[in-house]
Amino acid sequence: MNGHLPESPVSHDLAEAVRSLKRASVLVVGDAMLDRFVYGRVARVSPEAPIPVLTVDREVAMPGGAGNVVRNLTALGTPTAFLSVVGDDQAGSDLTALIGGQSGVEPWLLVQGGRATTTKTRFVAQGQQLLRADHENPEPIQPRLAERMLRIAQDTIAATRVMVLSDYRKGVLAGDIPQRLIAASKAAGRKVVVDPKGLDYGVYAGADLVTPNRNELRLATGRSIESEGALVDAAQSLRLQHGFGAVLVTRAEDGMTLVQADGVQHFPAEAPEVYDVSGAGDTVVAVVAAAMAAGLPLEVGARLANIAAGIVVGKVGTAVAREDDILDALKPERGTLRKVVSRTAAAEQAERWRQRGYRVGFTNGCFDLLHPGHVHLLEQARSWCDRLVVGVNSDASVSRLKGPTRPIQGEAARAAVLASLATVDLVAVFEEDTPTELIRLIRPDVLVKGADYTVDQVVGGDLVQEWGGEVKLAELLPGNSTTATVARIKG
């Protein structure tokens, strides 16, 4: 759909590396959490206290903590086993359902009676967090449950290639559990990646890779790391002290630094825009672990992880980097073709625009032969919104709707022509006969169709009006029709 242009040798090699991640397998052990996001609008201050009143529009729940590492692995297509503990509460049930609903996951979520499932609820308005409310029990899990978890882990280690310890200090990886898991992995000839917490990294001794951020490295070593050289020295000291194979330091806007016995590599930050850093560390851990499991050099895994982190910080909320996202990021700059994206990417971009206060519009059609009538409709649509997304029927969809001789132009060509227009901000191809599902994903504020329809005839109009949007009918230019143009061409 996006066209195929020659890639540089480096890009080609990295693209093959990305595709190899689905042939890996990873075991994740750690603290599962439930992340809730409550989105709304603030238009007034409460009369009860000097606090904003959030008018809630929608709520979203997703796995967080170690569960977000799993989300990132499944986004890459990497088969994943997940071992954690939840409480016997509604949040635990919700989290179990969310994990179990992901493709490619073998979940082992053990339940501890009387324990609260860690839940973080973020209240967001106009793209800004107003408040975060946490429910948690950071106490170590029950000893009998810990022994059961270790027995399951030993069996699962043999069936996977790399183990990730995702430690959020919420009780799952308390005491000697990390050391026992690392020992079991080493005995089975498997590698271990650790996303660490706390000051005592001795509990992770012998791991093949640890991934502290800059502040965690400073706290763990007690050293000043103001300069790049000081950071490298601290990471090398940590590596030698605890027998780590390597240390990958995430450095926010400064990228990442990989410190190994045979050298140091710096990876500049890849993010063109930063909207939300939530979960970026989980993305790094997931990608580098999948790369190690696929047998890729650690340097390649670190570079892919750096690219993936740049992708997720450009998204809203606790996001993931999918295989297609990373492959797109590896492609050479292709001008307006960058506007042609998958439906999932379109939905995420629309959400980013909304969070920045932009009014998102949507229209759709076959656009087989672009004519002045189309241009006039798109100009009107863009005048009613700040950002316009255009849905384009796929080739198969056009054939079903218009007959076997259509389309005249393929979907890639039709999408490219639309993307070249200044009035169009994003183009997404859809396979169905109607754009209903794409509209559900985009959630436009305004839906535009030609005035040859009535408002109640516009597909998806009822959905848009349900969430407070509006339907607009664009004026038509008489005498412009793709079908008539095709007929004239044929004589």
Q: What architecture does CATH give domain 337-490?
A: 3-Layer(aba) Sandwich (3.40)
Query: Given pLDDT bands bounded at 50, 70 and 90, which one contains residue 48?
Result: very high
pLDDT at position 480: 59
Rounded mean pLDDT, 16-24: 94
Would you say residue 120 has pLDDT above 80?
yes
Are the CB atoms for 35 and 62 separated by under 8 Å? yes
Q: How far apart are the two ends of the chain, measured CA to CA in Å?
A: 31
pLDDT at position 6: 32
Distance from C-alpha of 163 to C-alpha of 185, rounded to nearest angstrom: 7
Are the CB atoms for 205 and 242 separated by under 8 Å? yes
CA dihedral 113, 195, 294, 20 (to 10 degrees): 90
Would you say residue 105 has pLDDT above 70?
yes
Greater pLDDT, 357 or 420: 420
pLDDT at position 486: 55
Rounded mean pLDDT, 343-348: 88
pLDDT at position 5: 29
Q: 299: closest CA among 26, 14, 75?
A: 14
pLDDT at position 12: 42
pLDDT digits (tens, 9 = 90+) for 362-380: 999 999 888 888 999 999 9
Would you say residue 28 has pLDDT above 90?
yes
Is 354 annotated to bind ligand? no
Provide the CATH topology of domain 14-34+63-114+138-332. Answer: UDP-N-acetylmuramoyl-L-alanine:D-glutamate ligase (3.40.1190)
pLDDT digits (tens, 9 = 90+) for 264-297: 999 887 755 544 445 688 999 999 999 999 999 9
Residue 328, amino acid: D
Would you say residue 61 has pLDDT above 80?
yes
The contacts of residue 113 (CB under 8 Å, 6+ apart) are 88
* 258 phi and psi angles, rounded to 5 deg: -105, 120
What sign for the dihedral angle of Cα 219, 221, 224, 227?
A: negative
Would you say residue 168 has pLDDT above 50?
yes
Greater pLDDT, 294 or 344: 294
pLDDT at position 478: 73
Active site residue ranges: 282
Query: Given pLDDT bands bounded at 50, 70 and 90, which one contains residue 58?
Result: confident
pLDDT digits (tens, 9 = 90+) for 283-336: 999 999 999 999 999 999 999 999 998 888 765 555 788 888 888 888 765 556
Q: Percent of the chain beyond pLDDT 90?
A: 68
Distance from C-alpha of 46 to C-alpha of 48, rounded to nearest angstrom: 5
User: Dmax of the chain from CA atoms?
Assistant: 83
Is 216 annotated to bind ligand? yes
Are the CB atoms for 316 and 354 separated by under 8 Å? no
Rounded mean pLDDT, 470-491: 70
Q: E strands, 366-469, where? A: 387-393, 426-430, 446-450
Greater pLDDT, 484 or 346: 346
Query: Given pLDDT bands bounded at 50, 70 and 90, which one contains residue 430?
Result: very high
Where in the chain are the domains?
A: 14-34+63-114+138-332, 337-490
Helix 280-293 and helix 298-312, axial crossing angle in degrees, nearest 10: 150
pLDDT at position 13: 86
Q: Percent of the chain beyond pLDDT 70?
A: 91
Are the CB atoms for 80 and 106 separated by under 8 Å? yes
Distance from C-alpha of 475 to C-alpha of 361, rounded to nearest angstrom: 16
* 81 phi and psi angles, rounded to 5 deg: -105, 140
What is residue 457's DSSP assignment?
Answer: G
pLDDT digits (tens, 9 = 90+) for 125-146: 877 889 999 999 899 999 999 9
pLDDT digits (tens, 9 = 90+) for 70-83: 999 999 999 999 99
For 267, the enclosing helix (H) or strand (E) is strand 263-267
Q: What is the CA radius of gyration of the chain?
A: 25
